[in-house]
């Protein structure tokens, strides 16, 4: 699938540690690839260009209006007419405000922090380390780079005053995280910070727009399944849209089919992810999760399978 230059590591082992550093390991039946968004997005961009897709780079959609027959998408430079709009803009956008989506007015207690580093981490392993109020994941991507990303409570960041202090005072209480951070070469000048990470329920169709990926609903990061859901939801849309464009089904039927297939494949997984997340970021519950992984492998494997879906 990928060019040889990517050489994305294949991941088949999951490591889980509690707030106190207690650890367990699980094999991942489906496994996965470790690849950064930078590399994967560029790969898709090049493939789409080969297929004749026209890109408007450095251009942002400011508003979208449905006029009964189609859409008018307003950018800072033009008004673009189109028959179908697919929302693939991620967790949060000014378009969500424009569309007055229900979740956009609700404050989220979480903030996401991301780094790329060089560190001694097994290429076949994804690790999830708990700390009070959150958790941190690490896995190798292309070029022997590792991705570190953690979800923390915004209130904890406010109390600590800065990201370095949050890491020192909160994350480092897990000795595995302390070791990881102190023995890594950080490649970003400063971390990527994502505010207002919301796990609120969203609609897969909004104002006749087919929403994909995080724009349709975000799974808890601990499930490590966000990119797969984005790809799968895009495939579902791509399988249904041509029938509408070829006038074989109505717009109403296209939207109905997409919403039905999206819900069938993802609604349960997102719900389970939200509830499993409650076991994380707390000393008692994270130890319970590790004990389940240590002593009840069938239960642990069942939970993993029920958040990761099936090959498609």
Condensed to tens digits (0 to 9), the pLDDT of residues 236-274 reads 999 999 999 999 999 999 999 999 999 999 998 898 888
Q: How confident is the model at residue 283 (pLDDT cuts 50, 70, 90)?
A: low
- For 137, phi then psi, to 5°, come to -110, 150
Axis crossing angle, helix 283-295 with helix 297-308, rounded to the nearest 10: 110
Count the alpha carbons within 13 Å of 74 in the hemisphere toward its beta carbon. 8
Nearest CA to 145 out of 35, 41, 32, 28 is that of 35
H helix or E strand, kind and range, residue 274: helix 268-276
Residue 139 confidence (pLDDT) above 80? yes
Structural contact between residues 259 and 205, judged by C-beta atoms closer than 8 angstroms:
yes
How do strand 134-140 and strand 205-206 relate by DSSP bridges? unpaired
CB atoms within 10 A of CB 55: 9
Nearest to 309 by CA among 277, 275, 262: 262
pLDDT tens digits, one per residue of 20-70: 888 888 888 777 888 888 888 999 999 999 999 999 999 999 999 999 999
pLDDT of residue 264: 95
pLDDT for 199:
82
Residue 82 near residue 69 (C-beta atoms within 8 A): no
Helix (H) or strand (E) holding 131: strand 125-131
Average pLDDT over residues 154-165: 95
What local confidence, expressed as pLDDT, does residue 216 receive?
95
- Backbone torsions φ then ψ of 3, nearest 5 degrees: -60, 155
Residue 293 has pLDDT above 80, yes or no: no
Place of tokens 């992810």: 273
Quick: pLDDT tens for 3-31.
555 567 888 998 888 888 888 888 887 77
Closest by CA position to 232, among listed 274, 203, 269? 269
In this predicted model, what pLDDT tens digit does every residue of 173-191 receive, in sequence order? 999 999 999 999 999 999 9
Neighbouring CB atoms inside 10 A of 162's CB total 9
More confident residue, 84 or 94: 84
Q: What is the mean pLDDT of residues 88-95?
A: 90
Identify the band that residue 136 occupies on the pLDDT scale cut at 50, 70 and 90.
Answer: very high
Can you give 82-140 as a three-state secondary structure string? ECCCEECCCCCCHHHHHCCCHHHHCCCCEEEEEEEEECCCCCCEEEEEEECCEEEEEEE
Average pLDDT over residues 290-303: 63
Cβ atoms of 208 and 51 closer than 8 Å: no
Q: How far is CA 19 from the centre of its chain?
A: 23
pLDDT of 104 reads 85
Q: What are the chain's domains?
A: 10-37+108-197+280-296 (3.30.9.10), 63-105+199-274 (3.50.50.60)
Q: Compare 15 and 163 and report the one with higher pLDDT.
A: 163
Mean pLDDT of 203-230: 90
**Tokens 């799974």 belong to residue:** 219
Rounded CA-CA distance 240/258 in Å is 7
What is residue 174's predicted lDDT score, i.e. its pLDDT? 95
Least confident piece of the model among 38-42, 96-100, 154-158, 306-310:
306-310
- Angle formed at CA 141 by CA 138 and CA 28, multiple of 5 degrees: 65
pLDDT of res. 297: 62
| Whole-number pLDDT of residue 248 | 98
Highest mean pLDDT range out of 194-203, 220-229, 274-283?
194-203
pLDDT above 70 covers what percent of the chain? Answer: 89
């Amino acid at each position: 699938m990928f060019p040889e230059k990517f050489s994305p590591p294949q991941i088949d082992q999951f490591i889980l540690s509690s707030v106190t550093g207690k650890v367990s390991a699980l094999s991942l039946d489906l496994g996965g690839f470790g690849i950064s968004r930078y590399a994967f997005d560029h790969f898709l961009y090049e493939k789409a260009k080969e297929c004749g897709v026209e890109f408007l780079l450095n251009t942002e959609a400011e508003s979208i209006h449905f006029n009964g027959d189609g859409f008018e998408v307003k950018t800072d430079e033009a008004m673009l007419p189109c028959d179908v709009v697919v929302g693939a803009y991620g967790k949060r956008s000014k378009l969500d405000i424009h569309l007055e989506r229900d979740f956009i007015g609700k404050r989220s207690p979480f903030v996401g922090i991301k780094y790329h580093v060089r560190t001694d981490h097994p290429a076949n392993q994804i690790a999830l380390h708990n700390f009070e109020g959150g958790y941190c994941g690490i896995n190798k991507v292309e070029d022997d780079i590792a991705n570190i990303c953690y979800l923390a409570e915004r209130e904890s960041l406010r109390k600590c005053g800065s990201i370095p202090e949050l890491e020192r005072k909160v994350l480092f209480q897990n000795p595995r995280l302390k070791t990881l951070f102190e023995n890594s070469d950080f490649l970003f000048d400063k971390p990527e910070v994502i505010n207002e990470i919301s796990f609120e329920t969203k609609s897969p169709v909004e104002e006749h727009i087919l929403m994909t990926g995080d724009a349709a609903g975000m799974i808890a990061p601990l499930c490590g399944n966000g990119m797969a859901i984005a790809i799968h939801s895009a495939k579902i849309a791509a399988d249904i849209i041509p029938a509408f464009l070829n006038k074989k089904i109505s717009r109403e039927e296209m939207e109905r089919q997409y919403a039905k297939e999206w819900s069938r494949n993802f609604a349960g997984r997102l719900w389970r992810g939200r509830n499993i997340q409650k076991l994380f970021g707390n000393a008692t519950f994270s130890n319970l999760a590790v004990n389940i992984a240590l002593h009840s492998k069938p239960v642990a494997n069942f939970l993993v399978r029920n958040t990761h879906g099936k090959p498609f």
